[in-house]
């Protein structure tokens, strides 16, 4: 027996446990349920609710299972008379001041207090005194409060202290008058704040926009995957008669643990908006007409056929990187079938000079959970909390566990842990990054690789560069992670060369934060101008996004795109699209820019209304079924593509389901390409002159990343959402 293992007995059953482990973790593991409110596996132990009191032999009093470390020979009874009596006593105390408003409480049916009261409560209350009434707090647009229901478990308080790192809620006052709140009116603003709703074991903190709109037990529960970033957070959608009412986390320790970003929780309020495209429309003589699917598809096929009439070259296809794998694969096949190579999903990227050196798929450089095990992480050009909030949390955990973290960024974005920071101005980013590389080379007394030698020798090394380099030096497990700002930068190729050289020099991994939920899938599906499925080289490279727009095509397919909001070069796009003969838009929403430039608009479902697969930043394929019914006559995008393929007379476009399409791609891929970010390019960098940059294109606000999020009113009303409206500047508010 391992010396750190102890033998204990729980309810007469012998159990092996790790010495010092808390009893409740042992009972949970062996499936013996001990009731609890304040305990939560992701939070520190508070031991304040006293619900988990159990009977431990030779202990003079019942002990809280959450705060009692196991010792060898311990004999525990979770159901003895003493244990049950203690648990019932606690339940009675919890209920005396808890309102009996379960019928109008949103938590009803999914309330830990309600559930346990059934098992441990009395039928009739002995408490005849006046009950406590607590004033509600205004915590902003996301979380509603009914503070009279609060049982003071402090999970929400600890969440702020420990998980986000910014304590917004506290326990104000003392005794029976202690209240959870912000003291002065103050919204909860952290991008993970919505999680306090799930943490709250009662109905004190609830989902504000969802308030009073459904009962838990009348909704169907559907697994979903977040479409808003490359983490692929696992979600449950709660669906009432085909409508997605709310979203909660689906626990997945490898990805999002028990958390989700507010963006994932509240984006569903962007689905059912006035500007949804409910029926297919075609433009005739500058007038939009609502038509049947049949007519619309015929018009679309005609328009596309016209664009490829002489050769496929006349057609450009632009797809959202938030599209599903099936959609992206079908678009790839459609392009191939129509004979065009002008196909791209990299809508916010502007520098394609070195695209041949892109990895087959942009890998994080680590598993998501593995981020926590790293010893040094240098983020290059990343407003991480905005880009991928759930990964920002992992990085924070790594930092709290002792990893060194550094940022090379245009602004000193607020990170709630100690980190190194190199100011790399938007326009002059490469020079600062070269400084870090030079500092690392200096420290290691190794020359920088030849192709970057000139850049490095021209770099000025200051204390901040050395500090950032030290984040990576002398460690086994390090990561240089290219964020969205870096990848959207007009000098991305140079930035990547420098970052790759730095990673190589320190013996670390190079990583990418993929732009969107399915950027990885798009690369694998070959939704690229220069590569086919699985990264195979294209016979003849087509135009990338920039090329397609700067050398306008006769016709375009826009899949899931709002051209004025989703693209780095929106003005160029507008000009190109306006000059085209035919533009076919697949879209969930009516958008002014689309109305202006398109000729056919085909209503497709949002992420909630389609089945599909996303491949996340660590390469995990995650499939899902449609959670909600499509709005109006909208159809899942893959299905529309399939029918359009038939209408275009393309071969082998007969799929029965999104999973069929996915499996076809999988077959074609054969062995899935392994993660490999090693840089094999040879771009040589010389000049590090400043370049013109529009910061707003590089640093996209957290609630502006896609069409659904942009339409979620609760998100737009938050401090983070309003910051975007009030200023055209990106969220550089916290820049020093």
**Using CB under 8 A as the criterion, which residues of the chain lie in contact with other proteins when the complex forms?**
45-51, 53, 60-62, 64, 67, 69, 86, 89-90, 92-94, 96-97, 126-127, 129-130, 132, 151-152, 154, 166-178, 182-184
Cβ of residue 63: shortest distance to other proteins, in angstroms? 10
For the bound state, the minimum distance from the C-beta of residue 96 to other proteins, rounded and expressed in Å, comes to: 6
Strand runs labelled E in 338-403: 343-344, 376-380
Q: Cα–Cα distance between 563 and 589 in angstroms, integer?
A: 12
- Judged by CB, which is closer to other proteins: 113, or 330? 113
> Would you state the structure tokens that stand for residue 261, as one six-digit string?
């970003």
Residue 58 or 656: which CB sits closer to other proteins? Answer: 58
Q: How far is CA 18 from CA 8, 272, 401, in A?
A: 10, 50, 21
Task: Please state the closest distance from residue 67 (CB atom) to other proteins, in A.
Answer: 5
DSSP H helices, 598-686, are 637-647, 658-669
CB of 724 closer than 8 Å to CB of 703: yes
| Cβ distance to other proteins smaller for residue 10 or 91 | 91
Residue closer to other proteins, measured from CB, 92 or 504: 92
Q: Cβ of residue 45: shortest distance to other proteins, in angstroms?
A: 8
Q: What is the DSSP string of 84-141?
A: HHHHHHHHHHHHHTS-S-GGG-TTTTS-HHHHHHHHH--SS----SPPP--------S
Nearer to other proteins, 174 or 286 (CB): 174
Shortest spacing between CB 82 and other proteins, in angstroms: 10
Residues β-bridged to residue 406: 378, 420
Using an 8 Å Cβ cutoff, are 464 and 420 in contact? yes
Minimum distance from residue 50 beta carbon to other proteins (Å): 5
Total residues belonging to the chain = 736
For residues 167 and 623, which CB has a smaller minimum distance to other proteins in the complex?
Answer: 167
Give the nearest distance from C-beta 88 to other proteins in angstroms. Answer: 9
Considering beta carbons, is residue 175 or 736 the nearer one to other proteins?
175
Closest approach of other proteins to the CB of residue 736, in Å: 13
Least separation in angstroms between residue 135's CB and other proteins is 14
Q: How far apart are CA 359 and CA 365, in angstroms?
A: 11
Smallest gap, in angstroms, from Cβ of residue 184 to other proteins? 5
Which of 42/132 has CB closer to other proteins? 132
Q: Give the nearer residue to other proteins in terms of CB position, either 1 or 81.
A: 81
Q: Distances in Å between the alpha carbon of 323 and those of 150, 387, 525, 561, 665?
A: 41, 18, 11, 10, 15
Q: Is the dihedral of CA 291, 295, 297, 301 positive or negative?
A: negative
In 3D space, the residue among 607, 622, 230, 512 whose CA is nearest the CA of residue 391 turns out to be 230
User: Measured between alpha carbons, how far is 415 from 516 in angstroms, rounded to an integer?
Assistant: 22
Residue 207, CB half-sphere, CA atoms under 13 Å: how many? 26
Secondary structure letter of residue 705 according to DSSP: S
CB 639 to other proteins: min, Å: 50
Q: Which lies closer to other proteins via its Cβ, residue 36 or residue 250? A: 36
User: Nearer to other proteins by C-beta: 65 or 335?
Assistant: 65
CB-CB contact of 142 with 208 (8 Å): yes
Q: Which residue has the tokens 């938007």?
A: 426
In whole angstroms, the minimum distance from the beta carbon of 105 to other proteins comes to 19
Spatial CB neighbours of 133, under 8 Å, sequence gap ≥ 6: 148
Q: What distance in Å separates the CA atoms of residue 19 and residue 141, rounded to the nearest whole number?
A: 45
Nearer to other proteins by Cβ, of 44 and 457: the residue is 44
Query: Using alpha carbons only, what angle is made at residue 420 by residues 417 and 424, rounded to the nearest 5 degrees?
Result: 125
Task: Please tell me the distance from the alpha carbon of residue 191 to that of residue 400, in angstroms, as a whole number.
Answer: 19
């Amino acid at each position: 027996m391992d010396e750190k293992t102890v033998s204990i007995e729980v309810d007469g059953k012998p159990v092996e446990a790790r010495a010092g482990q808390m009893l409740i973790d042992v009972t949970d593991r062996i499936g013996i349920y001990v009731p609890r409110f304040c305990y939560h596996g992701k939070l520190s132990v508070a031991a304040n609710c006293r619900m988990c009191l159990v009977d431990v032999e030779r202990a003079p009093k019942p002990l809280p299972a959450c705060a009692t470390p196991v010792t060898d020979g311990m004999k525990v009874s979770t159901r003895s008379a003493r244990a049950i009596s203690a648990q019932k006593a606690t339940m009675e105390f919890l209920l005396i001041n808890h309102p009996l408003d379960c019928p109008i409480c949103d938590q009803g049916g999914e309330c830990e207090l309600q559930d346990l009261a059934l098992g441990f409560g009395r039928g009739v209350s002995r408490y005849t005194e006046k009950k406590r009434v607590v004033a509600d707090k205004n915590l902003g647009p996301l979380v509603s409060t009914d503070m009279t229901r609060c049982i003071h478990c402090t999970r929400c308080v600890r969440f702020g202290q420990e998980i986000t790192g910014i304590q917004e809620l506290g326990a104000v006052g003392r005794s029976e008058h202690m209240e959870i709140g912000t003291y002065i009116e103050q919204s909860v603003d952290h991008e993970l704040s919505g999680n306090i709703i799930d943490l709250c074991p009662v109905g004190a903190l609830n989902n504000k926009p969802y308030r009073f709109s459904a009962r838990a037990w009348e909704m169907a529960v559907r697994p979903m995957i977040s479409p808003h970033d490359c983490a692929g957070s696992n979600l449950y959608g709660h669906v009432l008669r085909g409508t997605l009412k709310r979203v909660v986390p689906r626990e997945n320790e490898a990805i999002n643990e028990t958390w989700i970003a507010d963006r994932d929780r509240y984006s569903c309020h962007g689905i059912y908006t006035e500007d949804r495209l409910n029926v297919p429309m075609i433009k005739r003589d500058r007038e939009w007409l609502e038509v049947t699917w049949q007519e619309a598809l015929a018009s679309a096929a005609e328009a596309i056929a016209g664009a490829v009439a002489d050769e496929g070259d006349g057609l450009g296809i632009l797809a959202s990187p938030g599209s599903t794998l099936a959609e992206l694969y079908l678009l790839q096949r459609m392009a191939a079938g129509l004979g065009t190579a002008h196909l791209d999903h990299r809508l916010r990227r502007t520098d394609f000079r070195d695209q041949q050196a892109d990895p087959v798929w942009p890998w994080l450089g680590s598993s998501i959970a593995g981020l926590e095990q790293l010893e040094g992480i240098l983020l290059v050009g990343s407003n991480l909390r905005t880009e991928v909030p759930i990964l920002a949390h992992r990085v924070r955990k790594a930092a709290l566990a002792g990893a060194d973290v550094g940022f090379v960024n245009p602004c000193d974005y607020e990170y709630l842990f100690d980190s190194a920071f190199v100011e790399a101005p938007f326009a002059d980013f490469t020079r600062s990054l070269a400084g870090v590389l030079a500092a690392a080379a200096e420290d290691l007394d190794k020359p920088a690789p030849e192709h970057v030698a000139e850049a490095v020798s021209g770099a000025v090394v200051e204390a901040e560069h050395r500090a950032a380099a030290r984040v990576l030096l002398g460690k086994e497990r390090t990561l240089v992670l290219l964020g969205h700002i870096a990848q959207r930068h007009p000098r991305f190729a140079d930035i990547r060369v420098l970052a790759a050289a730095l990673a190589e020099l320190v013996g670390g991994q190079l990583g990418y934060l993929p732009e969107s939920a399915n950027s990885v899938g798009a690369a694998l599906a070959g939704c690229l101008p220069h590569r086919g499925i699985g990264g195979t080289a294209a016979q003849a490279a087509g135009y990338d996004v920039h090329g397609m727009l700067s050398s306008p095509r006769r016709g375009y397919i826009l899949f899931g795109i709002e051209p004025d909001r989703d693209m780095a070069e929106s003005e160029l796009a507008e000009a190109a699209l306006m000059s085209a003969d035919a533009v076919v838009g697949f879209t969930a929403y009516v958008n002014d820019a689309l109305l202006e430039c398109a000729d056919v608009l085909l209503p497709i479902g949002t992420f909630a209304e389609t089945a599909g697969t996303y491949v996340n930043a660590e390469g995990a394929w995650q499939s899902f079924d449609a959670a909600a019914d499509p709005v109006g006559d909208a159809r899942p995008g893959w299905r529309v593509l399939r029918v359009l393929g038939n209408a275009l007379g393309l071969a082998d476009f007969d799929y029965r389901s999104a999973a069929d399409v996915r499996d076809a791609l999988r077959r074609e891929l054969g062995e899935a390409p392994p993660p490999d970010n090693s840089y094999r390019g040879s771009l040589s960098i010389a000049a590090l002159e400043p370049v013109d940059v529009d910061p707003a294109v590089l640093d996209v606000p957290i609630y502006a990343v896609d069409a659904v999020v942009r339409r979620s009113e609760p998100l737009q009303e938050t401090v983070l959402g309003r910051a975007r409206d009030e200023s055209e500047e990106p969220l550089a508010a916290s820049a020093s």
